[in-house]
Structure 1
Amino acid sequence: MNSIFQKKWVVVFIAIFCSILWGSAFPVLKVSYEELQMAPDDDIAKIVFAGMRFLLAGLILLVGLFITNRKWLVVTRRQLMFLTLLGLLQTALQYYFFYNGLGKVSGMQGAILVSSGTFFTVLLAHFFYSNDRMNWKKTIGLIAGFAGVVVANWGQEFQLSFQLTGEGYMILSALTGAVATILAKELAVGIHPFAITGWQLTIGASALLIIGVPQLSENAMTFTPLGWGLFIYSIFLSAAAFGLWYSLLKFNKAGEISMFKFITPVSGAILSAMFIPGEQLDLFIIGALMLVAIGIIAVNYKGRRVIQKGQ
């Protein structure tokens, strides 16, 4: 596994794949809320929906590991404490902030604030790891990636305002995700990446359901065949994206692979244009893709001299 997840083309492919999967969550969630007839201001229904989704995703991974190799499921008491902390941060707290904040900001604000998680991760990695410092390549990458997110959402309603339960929650969601990324990189020694994903999703989702279910209104969600299909896809999305991402994180620099997350809001805009009526693909999206690509290339580019010296 070590050699596979350290090969450059594998890292690039999986990182892009995970980012596109997370990007697809934007149109999937938008259509799901409408299809399940959730009230726009029903935050509890959204939390319960997220809890159901993440719980089943986590259980699928844990059952899969139980069938293939039960040894990977065994964790020490110290590791269980870490997994509990990660689950509460990465799943419960991050998505509590995300789902509640997203309903109170514009599309452009949401995309920009979500992308701030990449900045937080790269900056935190600079202080935590001596081999993952900020440099001119990462600086160019961050500027180009952030510019791509802004361009992708150009023309949407944008207001210079701040409220704790809106913009504040989105920033807290991004910061919580960045801290969880560093914790996973730092403390997940000796734990299989899919076990990390399975346990943290299950624990975090359980917390969301404990909070949400007692407050859930009757008939808050009405499942239809399409609604079930979207729900099943969202489960697969969570299990696959988080499992593969933790595998990359285990064997690569957190600051470098996190740059690929700039693809998430851009791919979300593209997929929304494809599947949501009224949203269209335009030159801004194409320009955004080019900027994000420049940012990723800048971070991962190694000159000939560096390669030869490494050999």
Structure 2
Amino acid sequence: MTASATPTGSRDSTRLFTQPKVLVMLATLCCLLWGSSYPAIKIGYALLGITQNDIPSKLVFAGYRFVLAGLIVLVFAALSNKPLFKLSRTDAARVMLLGFTQTAIQYVFFYIGLAYTTGVRGSILNSTTTFFSVLLAHFLYRNDKLTPRKAFGCLLGFVGVMVVNFGDGTLEFAFTLLGEGFIVIAAFVLSAASIYGKRISQRIDPMVMTGYQLAFGGLVLVVAGYASGGTLQAFTPASLALLGYLALLSSVAFTLWSLLLKYNPVGKVTVFNFLVPVFGTVLSAICLSENIMEVKNLFALVLVCCGIWLVTRAPRLRAAHAKPEVAIGNTRACGQSQG
């Protein structure tokens, strides 16, 4: 009885998380949550007295957020009877590497880059995460190849991100290593780490993996922030509530995202990242009581949605005969493991 429970549960999860409606709903929810972090983080900086170029204090703030988010996920994992303490040394090392890259290193590059470029360029360049993910998946997964339809869908999404930022700052060509270069590096690190996390999630429960990687990555950020001179002023009930919200949204979004990546091709999931800056712009405007019903915002949303539809739409004639996804170098079929 016990031996058959896991395969059955795995098949049920595969059927659930690969349903197009479920994929769209959960991926959009993740991007909505991440988009809401833009205004929430800015409000948090104001409440804690963190100045624009005070990168060390920003790292401390982000570190607290992710440590708390990881603990929230681990508590729910424990309540769900997940195997929290059954990681082998190899698996534990892999999770720590994931947390170090996806949470810590990626945010260090992102925050430093953002301090040396405009928010508009940062938002646009950060959306290259989707391109990197699609390209990497093309070389690592047999049934996640880059096609003209996927390429055009990604291009539409990227144009949508540019449209939503048009007029908010200068878009003339400029490139520096510490600015735009670090943003692109952060995008590449995030995409590579996400694919690596997909691999790990085949061996480790996604909730357990997410909890440990967030907590460890957050701890690295806290240590790095304090070591480089970061400080935070006394917390208030408002700043604590905001920190709690940021931690909660991270715990929910990263857990759902890990589950979606485990059971779906990388390109079908990561294309939704184009929604993050759109949601971020709209929610920031709402928090600042600005007009959000602008033509550019609506046009951008249409472009992004069309791009997502092109990437996630499966060809009808080939869907029934699609081969299981197998990562290069991995001999297990994707019915049991997609990476």
Q: TM-score range by the shorter chain?
A: over 0.9
Give the match for residue 177 of structure 1: 190
Within 5 A, what are the aligned runs for 1:96-115? 96-115=108-127
Q: Cα gap change, 1:233/1:86 in structure 2, threshold over 3 Å: closer, same or farther?
A: same
Q: How does 1:77-88 map to 2 (within 5 A)?
A: 77-88=89-100
Structure 1 residues 221-253: Cα deviation after superposition (integer angstroms, max 9, x where no partner): 343332222111100111000000000111110
Q: Is the 8 A contact 1:27 1:271 kept in 2?
A: yes
For 1:202-217, what aligned pairs fall within 5 Å after superposition? 202-217=215-230
1:137/1:54 Cα in 2 relative to 1: closer, same or farther (>3 Å)? same
Give 2:335's aligned residue: none
How far apart are the structure 1 equivalents of 2:113 and 2:289? Answer: 24
266, 269, 277: which one aligns with 1:265 = 277
Aligned length in residues: 309
- The one-letter amino acid paired with 2:186 is S
> Kindly tell me: are residues 231 and 127 of structure 1, through their superposed partners in 2, closer, same or farther at Cα, counting changes over 3 Å?
same
Gaps of 5+ in 1: none
1:8 aligned partner, one-letter code? P
| Residue deviations 1:54-96 (CA, integer Å, cap 9, x gap) | 0011011112222321425421111111101101100000011
- Quickly say closer, same or farther: Cα 1:308–1:192, change in 2 above 3 A: closer
Aligned letter for 2:193? A
Alignment check: 8 A CA contact 2:60 2:230 kept? no
Of 39, 44, 66, the residue aligned with 2:78 is 66
Distance 1:308 1:183, change over 3 A: closer
The answer on whether the counterparts of 1:113 and 1:171 sit within 8 Å (CA) in structure 2 is yes
Moved over 6 A (4+): none
| Separation in 2, partners of 1:42, 1:11 | 38
Equivalent runs, 1:72-221 vs 2, <5 Å: 72-158=84-170, 159-217=172-230, 220-221=232-233
**By how many angstroms is 1:205 displaced?**
1.0
2:149 corresponds to which letter in structure 1? K
2:246 to 216, 231, 234: 234
- CA shift in 2, pair 1:279/1:135, >3 Å: same
The answer to whether the aligner puts 1:248 opposite 2:260 as a matched pair is: yes
Aligned pair partner of 1:57 in 58, 69, 91:
69
- % identity of equivalent residues: 39
**1:110-162 deviations in Å (ceiling 9; x for gaps):** 11111001100000000111110001220111110000000000012224222
RMSD: 1.8
Q: How does 1:293-304 map to 2 (within 5 A)?
A: 293-304=305-316
Matched letter for residue 265 of structure 1: P
The letter of the residue matching 1:67 is L
Q: Give the conservation status (yes or no) of the 8 Å contact 1:118–1:258.
A: yes
Alignment partner, residue 26 of structure 1: 38
C-alpha distance in 2 between matches for 1:308 and 1:161 = 47
Contact 1:28–1:234 under 8 Å retained in 2: yes
Q: What TM-score results when the alignment is normalised by the length of structure 2?
A: 0.86
Distance in 1 of aligned mates of 2:82 and 2:151: 43
Match of 1:7 among 10, 13, 19: 19
C-alpha contact (below 8 Å) 2:38/2:284 kept by paired residues: yes
Q: Distance in 1 between matches of 2:42 and 2:112?
A: 14
Paired letter, 2:206: P
